[in-house]
Structure 1
Amino acid sequence: MDLSSARITRRLGDPPSKRGSVTSQTCPDLFELSDGNFAVIGTEATTALDPHLPSDAARADYERIVVISRDTLIRAKKDIPDA
């Protein structure tokens, strides 16, 4: 996936400051990109979760498993397009 020309176009959901971030800056976050893909800021959890992936799931060497809080995703739901 070539991301060299992709740009963040908007945040999905509420900013960290509205979700209780102590610093109002760092926190899990979701963004829509100019190419239609999505970017996630979360906790890297590849080592812990990779062995537990379902048998019909896999990740490439360049992919990582990232965890975001339930609250972050629920607050973003209103901004995620249906199609």
Structure 2
Amino acid sequence: MFELSTGDFAVIGEAMTDQLRHLLPDDAGVGPDERVVVIPRDVLVRARRDIPEE
């Protein structure tokens, strides 16, 4: 996970859209140019300190 110059974040993970799409809440969707990406828990926990609060 890393912050882009725009302030957005990019993540590297395993694309799991087809396997997980049916588990999304009714009010969530995946656009044609989007993917559901699984980020290992330890990666997100370690990245937490680098994510700004605002």
Q: TM-score, normalised by structure 1?
A: 0.63
- AA at the equivalent of 1:68: I
Unaligned runs of 5+ in 2: none
RMSD, aligned α-carbons: 0.5
Return the match for 1:52 from 1, 12, 23.
23
Shift >4 Å, 4+ stretches: none
Higher helix share: 2
Deviation at residue 42 of structure 1 after TM alignment: 0.3
Q: TM-score, normalised by structure 2?
A: 0.95
Bigger radius of gyration: 1
Residue 42 of structure 2 aligns with which residue?
71
Q: What is the aligned-residue identity percentage?
A: 54
Higher strand share: 1
